[in-house]
Amino acid sequence: MIRPEVSEFIALGKLPSEDGEPDEALEAAVQRAGDYLDRITRPVTDEEAHALAECFGKDECFGVGWVLLHLIETAPHAREDQPEAARRWRTGLTA
């Protein structure tokens, strides 16, 4: 079961990209994503971790991507069964 606060974050979609000129809409989207992440109490369930992993964008989203990754890592089986999307995101940033 996925908690409402997790579902609300997931409903925002993928994290916005840092590409392009920063504007008020981008700043608002980044702030909103961070605020929604802050509402999620830790730890998350394995099911929530897998759902949250689909929200990674293509870059760090001004640090919000790392907050998301660390949240996902609070899941009980995150070390043994890290969501594939989280692994791809981390690997892509360090490649």
Question: Exposure of 2 by Cβ count < 10 A (0-12 exposed, 13-18 middle, 19+ buried)?
Answer: middle
Q: How far apart are CA 6 and CA 49, in angstroms?
A: 9
The confidence band for 93, taking pLDDT boundaries of 50, 70 and 90, is low
The pLDDT tens digits of the residues spanning 7-26 come to 999 999 999 999 877 789 99
Contact assessment for residue 88 and residue 75, using Cβ atoms and an 8 Å cutoff: no
Of the candidates 79, 17, 68, which has an alpha carbon nearest to the alpha carbon of residue 38?
Answer: 68
pLDDT at 54: 93
**What pLDDT sits at residue 94?**
57
Digit-coded pLDDT (tens) for 64-77: 999 999 999 999 98
Domain ranges across the chain: 4-94
Instruction: Report how far residue 68's alpha carbon sits from residue 7's, in angstroms, rounded to the nearest whole number.
Output: 14
Q: For residue 62, which amino acid is it?
A: F
Tokens read off for 34: 């961070």
